Amino acid sequence: MAPPPRRWRAPGLLMVALMIGACAGPETLRLRAESVPVELAAVPFHPQDEYHCGPAALATVLAADGVDVSPEALVPEIYVPARQGSLQAEIIAAVRRRARVPFVLAPHIDAALAELHAGRPVLVLQNLGTRGLPVWHYAVVVGFDPRQQRFVLRSGRERRLEMSARRFLQSWDRAGRWMLVVARPDAPPVSAEVQSWLRAVAAFESLGELKIAITAYRAATRRWPAVPMTWTALGNGLAQRGLWASAARAYERALTSGGDTPWLRNNHAWVLAQMGCRADALAEIDAALTAAVEPAQRDTLRDTRARIETLQPDAVCDR
């Protein structure tokens, strides 16, 4: 079997650097007093040891999603002794190792409130000091009372720390407005947008965890069925596992949803060829060549066509 053509991933799913902890622009932080109170009282509590607020907070949100792990077990994975703390990259990697999607929320407090109302606690980074003399701290937001303008957190050694909205938002803002939720691959967070979910999931492809990626891409097609990129991403994952017929159907759904691009037709053509449908594959790659305008793009498509021509068609085109 010939190797997949170059540009196997659709351009929109090329790995995108995740901006961790980048500060949002100036924003007036207001919370609507008329919103409904919420508190996730059943969220577990892990009191922290000295500098281990990261492991304690991460164990809390993982446990809330059904992953049983102690803070002590997480210390070797995410605690950096030289920094006397944990970095976001290590936290994200630890979540992935447990077959969960680490989803970094948009830097707006409404996203956190939406997740709370959906039953998800939110891991946040705070700066309890000043911008010049920071005191970094991880905590887990489990509630908000709009009447009292107070957040409820699992924080440090306190199971139920109440903090005024003003103080909490200032500490969160000084830390770059970073916050994360843990999601099962088949259940995107309520505040997720399609591109942010696909970016979060694409990392599993890079790690070779295709089963997890495919599950998450299927969830994207259910959540955003009219968005071609969800079907393209699913097709890419299925193709990498050699599930040619399923991949072809996903690509065809992407095409009929308005995602007609030369790259998509390139991938679709290659999958058709693997199914023994060489005539259909050549017709598809020719359609892609007709639409392509960039020289580099046309070179890739010609290369795919040459590879397809070397394949022998099966007796039956298995479509």
Mean pLDDT by 10 residues, the chain (319 residues): 35 28 40 78 90 91 96 90 83 97 97 96 97 94 95 96 97 97 98 97 95 98 98 97 96 95 96 93 95 92 94 71
Quote the pLDDT of residue 13.
Answer: 27
Secondary structure element (H or E) that encloses residue 195, with its range? helix 194-206
Give the burial class of 191: count Cβ atoms within 10 A of its Cβ; 0-12 exposed, 13-18 middle, 19 or more buried: buried
Quote the pLDDT of residue 7.
Answer: 35
- Correct CATH for 193-309 of 3.40.50.11540, 1.10.530.10, 1.10.150.120, 1.25.40.10: 1.25.40.10
151/161 Cα distance (integer angstroms): 8
Quote the pLDDT of residue 54.
Answer: 92
- Which pTM does this prediction carry? 0.86
Quote the pLDDT of residue 163.
Answer: 97
In total, the chain counts a number of residues equal to: 319
Quote the pLDDT of residue 81.
Answer: 81
Handedness of CA 298, 303, 307, 309 (dihedral sign): positive
Quote the pLDDT of residue 52.
Answer: 83
Quote the pLDDT of residue 245.
Answer: 95
59/67 Cα distance (integer angstroms): 8
Q: What is the CATH number of domain 38-183?
A: 3.90.70.10
Quote the pLDDT of residue 2.
Answer: 34
Residue bearing tokens 């911008």: 131
Quote the pLDDT of residue 20.
Answer: 29
Quote the pLDDT of residue 35.
Answer: 74
102/93 Cα distance (integer angstroms): 8
What is the number of other CB atoms lying within 10 angstroms of the CB of residue 110?
13
Residue 12's closest CA among 281, 242, 201? 201
Residues 6+ apart with CB under 8 A from 81: none
Distances in whole angstroms, Cα of residue 223 to Cα of each of 189, 195, 248: 10, 12, 20
Quote the pLDDT of residue 204.
Answer: 97
Quote the pLDDT of residue 187.
Answer: 98
Domain ranges of the chain: 38-183, 193-309
Quote the pLDDT of residue 31.
Answer: 63
